Amino acid sequence: MSSPPFDEQIFVTRPLLPPLAEVVARLEQVWASRWLTNAGAQHEQLEAALRAHLGVPELALFNNGTIALMTAMRALDLSGSVVTTPFTFPATPHSLVWSRIEPIFCDIDPVTLTIDPVAIEAAIRPDTSAILGVHVYGVPCHVDAIQQIAGRHGLKVVYDGAHVFGTTINGRGIGTYGDITMYSFHATKLFHTAEGGALACQTPAMKASIDHLKNFGILNQEEVDVPGINGKMNELQAALGLAVLDHVSEEVTARRAIVDRYRARLDGVAGLTLMPRLPGVTESFQYFVIRIDREAFGRSRDEVQASMKEANVLTRKYFFPLCSDYPCYNRLDSARPQGLPVAHRAVQEVLCLPIYGTLSLDAVDRICDLLLGLRR
């Protein structure tokens, strides 16, 4: 190995931490109000600010993205089966199974790594009630094709948008596509509330239904009409979120410079493929993912990951393994590897490189030197 190792571990990501005094100032407001949860002042302020930031008509905050996604299935009254992608985080299919809905896994587009519209249409069954797409690493699904398929078959469309905070398509917030889009505000995400999430939807009636479900289905002090859940974001999370939101644009600027440097150094290298930049789509800068072709690069993704770890650079095999290979899903007909060749290849090739606002460009250069020095 020609490049020297880093003295300290470089993490894959680090959370955006606003100045502590700014968080404390907001917490003082919470203390003064003596109101800790249930649609308090911080919650209401964050919900309105994020609705504007994300360019969506309606938004409901949650205590995490997974509970939000589970609630989306109930709000749309989905049942039977839902066509989805295996190339995702476990929360995506789990959110279906918690409503006793069967995930039907279908293959992905080899370029965008998002669910393949041709495969969706072939996978639809008589009991299918929706399509659940994932905007992978900030690259949007084929939203127009998916909407057309949904229209032809009378299906709902849900998006797992955990990776697309702030992404727009031709100036339109990505959460305006489909019936419901979930956002995750986990600490590993660009914008975060330590743990948290949201559902974007298109109508006030749907927002009211989501708010009702996330508060146990309580109508009033004496009436509960549906088996809801506790999905509420509390005031401490919301206060942190407001402080983080004030610094999101600086974080985006820093990450944009990092992505530009990675691209300048790695684009066109034999054996490496970068995620596509699509016309009209703003990037989310949440992950920087490369794909490593073992033959052309001379090293497998796993070998690269191990060597980088020896040099104190942590990377992440994200996503790995495919959800369809988990023991809880691998007996489904749709989980058979023969039906998912593109996803099976992608899961062996993807590697997330470090990206966070405080990562210096010098460190990015050294990470690239290290990676390029591993070629055979």
Ligand X SMILES: Cc1ncc(COP(=O)(O)O)c(C=O)c1O
Q: Please give the residue ranges that form the binding site for ligand X (CB under 6 A).
A: 64-66, 88-89, 91-92, 134, 160, 162-163, 184, 186, 197
Q: Whole-number minimum distance, CB 88 to ligand X, in Å?
A: 5
Q: Find out whether the peptide bond into 62 is cis, omega within 30 degrees of 0.
A: no
Distance of closest approach, residue 289 Cβ to ligand X, in angstroms: 12
User: 84-101 in b/e burial notation, b at 16+ Cβ within 10 A?
Assistant: bbbbbbebbbbbbebbeb
- Minimum distance, C-beta of residue 142 to ligand X, in the bound complex (Å): 17
> Least distance to ligand X from the beta carbon of 298, Å?
30
In the bound complex, what is the minimum distance in angstroms from residue 163's beta carbon to ligand X?
6
* Three-state secondary structure of 25-47: HHHHHHHHHCCCCCCCHHHHHHH
Who contacts 373 (Cβ-Cβ below 8 Å, separation ≥6)?
1, 2, 3
Q: Which is nearer to ligand X, 290 or 374 (CB)?
A: 290
Given CA atoms 293, 296, 301, 305 in this order, what sign does their dihedral have? negative
**H-run or E-run covering 146:** helix 143-153
Residue 238 near residue 191 (C-beta atoms within 8 A): no
Q: How far is the CB of 21 from ligand X (least distance, A)?
A: 27
Task: Please say which residue, 186 or 247, places its beta carbon nearer to ligand X.
Answer: 186
Helix (H, G, I), strand (E, B) or coil at 269: coil
Q: Least distance from C-beta 162 to ligand X, angstroms?
A: 3
Strands 272-274 and 350-353: unpaired
Residue number with the shortest CB distance to ligand X? 65
Residue with tokens 């095999």: 317
Q: Please tell me the total number of residues recorded for the chain in this structure.
A: 376
Adjacency order of strands within the sheet including 58-62: 58-62, 197-201, 180-184, 156-160, 128-134, 81-84, 102-105
Please report, for residues 102, 170, 298, 320, 322, the alpha-carbon distance to residue 327 in angstroms, rounded to integers and kept in the order given: 15, 40, 32, 14, 11
